[in-house]
Structure 1
Amino acid sequence: MAKTKIKCLFTDIGGVLLNNGWDRKKRAEAIEKFKLDAEEVNERHHLTFDTYEEGKITLDEYLDRVVFYTKRNFSRKAFKEYMFSLSAPYPEMIKLMKELKKKYGFHIAVVSNEGRELNDHRIKQFGLNTFVDFFISSSFVHIRKPDADIFKLALDIAQMQPEDVLFIDDREMFVQVAEKQGIRGLWHKDFETTKRILASFGLK
């Protein structure tokens, strides 16, 4: 097994391993498909989505507030199935994570902001639990990035010192918050750039 100073890799899910499951673009697609009022849905979404991502309400409660606050001509089941169908993997990134873990033997932890039901679906649908050792998801631990406490908790769960960890995220601010905790950061922009930066950390 090859040697590396990195003992654990922290990574986001949305924007790194998979697409963002329910971002502005995905909501726009759902609004068009189900003929919803964009302004009303987005306003309600912004008022309550953080609460959903922190695991304080269920997906059904989120949808009660954002979509089903009035009678609709489609079912809740149809809308949820459509939401889940919007997720897609980034196969090159998943393959890279698996290959690096096999080569260097480090642990991989997810540190992400995701609501529980969407997160559970994405983990199982794309086999993330086949190579990720543990999930510090906002809906599991009731803390969201950019709260620095989520990184402190991740270090405790991983039983790692900050200097042992490299964190990958597609949001520059979240990388900067991790770096403030002494964790090395990698701002993910695209596969080739991340692959090159990982090599500069000795992960080839």
Structure 2
Amino acid sequence: MATNSTSAPVTALFLDIGGVMLTNGWDRRSREAAAKQFGLDIDELNDRHRMTFDTYEAGKLSLDEYLKRVVFCREQPFTVEQFRTFMFEQSAPYPEMIDLVKALKARYELKIAVVNNEGRELNEHRIKTFRLNEFVDFFISSCFVHFRKPDADIWKVALDIAQVPKEDVVYIDDRPMFVQVAQGLGIRGITHNYKNVGKTKDALAAMGLTLD
């Protein structure tokens, strides 16, 4: 687990959503399930997805436009609404991690910011469905700021909006490279594994954020 140490107090947590607080919104596993459910060619689906999804996540396509390019490039025996509903149903929470973030926020009066790559409709669905806006103060999502991790500017924008020194921030993500980019900016980082929240708790405790 990647971390960097400093004696500065932690006043803000920056977190990813997919792989940290929720399952991924539309990953390879979800696309495989969709291909099976709707009788799609998985290779074609993944190929078209790769060529299009970054643009959707950057907020430059709507979900319907993405689906038109990837799934509804030909006539289908199902509707766009049916497919959208299936996509949204793939999301599930990681309650232990959500509860941890809520508890740390309450105890230490932390600012909580999401820094994530996600398309607008999926992002807004997940925020609303899992009530993330009840404890997250800022959403610096790729679809809102129009650039994506690993572009370092997304963390710089998060720092500007949160108005906290970089030394006072801990960033949590399940992807090591994104943690490393944040660390390169002077932000402390934790590489999270949803299967082992205990390690993340230990890393946070080592930075002074305990619940004991």
From 6, 21, 30, give the equivalent of 2:10. Answer: 6
Residue 207 of structure 2 is matched in structure 1 by 201
Structure having greater relative contact order (Cα 8 Å, sep ≥ 6): 2
Which 5+ residue runs of structure 2 have no aligned equivalent?
1-7
Tell me the C-alpha RMSD between the 2 structures.
Answer: 0.8
User: Which amino acid letter does the alignment assign opposite residue 204 of structure 2?
Assistant: L
From 178, 183, 187, give the equivalent of 1:183. Answer: 187
**How far apart are 1:160 and its partner, in Å?**
1.5
User: Which amino acid letter does the alignment assign opposite residue 200 of structure 2?
Assistant: T
User: Which amino acid letter does the alignment assign opposite residue 192 of structure 1?
Assistant: G
Residue 174 of structure 2 is matched in structure 1 by 170
**How far apart are 1:7 and its partner, in Å?**
1.0
From 153, 156, 167, give the equivalent of 1:152. Answer: 156
Which 5+ residue runs of structure 1 have no aligned equivalent?
none
Identity %: 61
TM, length-normalised to structure 1: 0.97
Alignment of 1:76 onto 2:76: no
**How far apart are 1:82 and its partner, in Å?**
0.5
> Secondary structure of the equivalent of 2:112?
strand
From 92, 107, 129, give the equivalent of 2:111. Answer: 107
> Secondary structure of the equivalent of 1:136?
strand
4+ long deviations beyond 6 Å: none
> Secondary structure of the equivalent of 1:110?
strand
Residue 67 of structure 2 is matched in structure 1 by 63
User: Which amino acid letter does the alignment assign opposite residue 12 of structure 2?
Assistant: C
For each residue in 1:113-165, what CA deviation from the matched residue of structure 2 results, as whole angstroms up to 9, or x when unmatched? 00000000000000100000010000000010000010111101111211010
TM, length-normalised to structure 2: 0.94
User: Which amino acid letter does the alignment assign opposite residue 105 of structure 2?
Assistant: K
**How far apart are 1:64 and its partner, in Å?**
0.3
**How far apart are 1:172 and its partner, in Å?**
0.2
Residue 192 of structure 1 is matched in structure 2 by 198
The number of residues matched between the two structures is: 201
